[in-house]
Amino acid sequence: MKNNQAILHSKDYRNLLKEYGYSETDIQERIIETWDKLFSDQYPDTQIYYPVGDDLAYMLDTGNLDVRTEGMSYGMMMAVQMNKREVFDRLWKWSKKYMFMKTGEHAGYFAWSCRPDGTKLSYGPAPDGEEYFAMALFFASHRWGDGPAPFNYNQQAKDLLHTCLHKGENGLGQPMWNLENKLIKFVPNVEFSDPSYHLPHFYELFALWAYPEDRPFWKSAALASRKYLKIATHPETGLAPEYAFYDGTPNNIRGYGHFFSDSYRVACNIALDYEWFKDPECPIKINEKIQRFFADKNPSDYRRYTIAGEAFEEKSLHPIGLIATNAMASLATSSPNAKKYVDLFWNTPIRSGKRRYYDNCLYFFSLLALSGNFKIWMP
């Protein structure tokens, strides 16, 4: 563990944008400008962060007009990477006040969807929110130090991860991971997964910082997820379904067995895993296949696809997000397409209008990663 910690402390982060000829001044200006457009009320056409009173705030899914654990945890991760503690604390306090469930089957988890006034729209959790909450909290603890609850970030993260694994042992509920195969579930009460939920680079860090009794599980989960991504993506196109069974085959419940919105994140997760850890099991060839598949596609005509690459009539709901994730994929590729996708991303503005939330979250994460600013914050 100590050797791994030392390596991470001394880590250099690749600035792919600079490697491809963009100036450091332009890169920093783009980061600040993009942050402002997402988090400031001076840009209502692109804003997705909304303060409430003196100490609360939420991230709005503008397409569905609700607040999701996905967005709240994403906003917290953006804030800790940008050193914006007030934004982080506002989002976390809102999440704890309105989303955290203290009673019932899912006590200890967060309700995945609420109205902007805090009313719960669902009493079920979505594990992608929990894993991002935990990682953002660890980074906050390491970057800023801990305060009184709920800002005792380190303990909050460890307690949440412990619940994710041990829920149901002494009462109602189910864990968020299948404890036998070490794969994350789509939701706790089902036995299938979402390939875009798999974050082996997070699990490597959970294996360092979770409660000691949980650390071996997280180390195994990192390996299991890297292997799972290989079987859940198409061998030729690299495309992943939104839902997949544990054997990797698409789960077409309600049409979610195709490459669509959730699926875009797989390329990001592989890229960041490779950037952070360079683990030999990281399936970087998937990103090369994805970039090759989209090489002859017009970004204005991105669609829903089967994982084999057959196009549907239905257009992509989030084409800017797909441009962003295909660019972030370049952190783990070496093909001639790598610079092409980064240039396309750089020359694409963030999205305005109703569907801007998901696209612009992916856009900002890609901007951070491609500029070497999506970092591991160590204790």
58: helix, strand or coil:
strand
- The answer to whether 275 and 255 are in contact (CB under 8 A) is no
Closest to 133 (Cα-Cα) out of 176, 189, 167: 176
- Is 117 in the active site? no
Catalytic residue among 61, 66, 70, 288: 70
237: helix, strand or coil:
coil
Cα–Cα dist 157/134, whole Å: 4
Catalytic residue among 89, 130, 194, 262: 262
- The answer to whether 127 and 189 are in contact (CB under 8 A) is no
Q: How far apart are the first and last CA of the chain?
A: 13
Eight-state DSSP code of residue 261 = G
β-sheet bridge partners, residue 193: 244
Class of residue 118 by CB neighbours under 10 A (exposed 0-12, middle 13-18, buried 19+): middle
Closest to 99 (Cα-Cα) out of 136, 139, 140, 56: 56
- The answer to whether 374 and 362 are in contact (CB under 8 A) is no
Query: CA torsion 109→134→265→367, rounded to 10°?
Result: 140
The two tokens of residue 88 are 């982080």
Q: Where are the alpha helices (DSSP H) in the chain?
A: 2-9, 16-19, 24-39, 69-81, 85-94, 127-144, 153-166, 200-209, 215-232, 265-277, 284-294, 319-328, 337-346, 356-370
- Is 279 in the active site? no
Class of residue 43 by CB neighbours under 10 A (exposed 0-12, middle 13-18, buried 19+): middle
Q: Helices (H) and strands (E) in the chain — how many of each?
A: 14, 6
The two tokens of residue 53 are 């009173």
State the catalytic residues. Answer: 70, 262
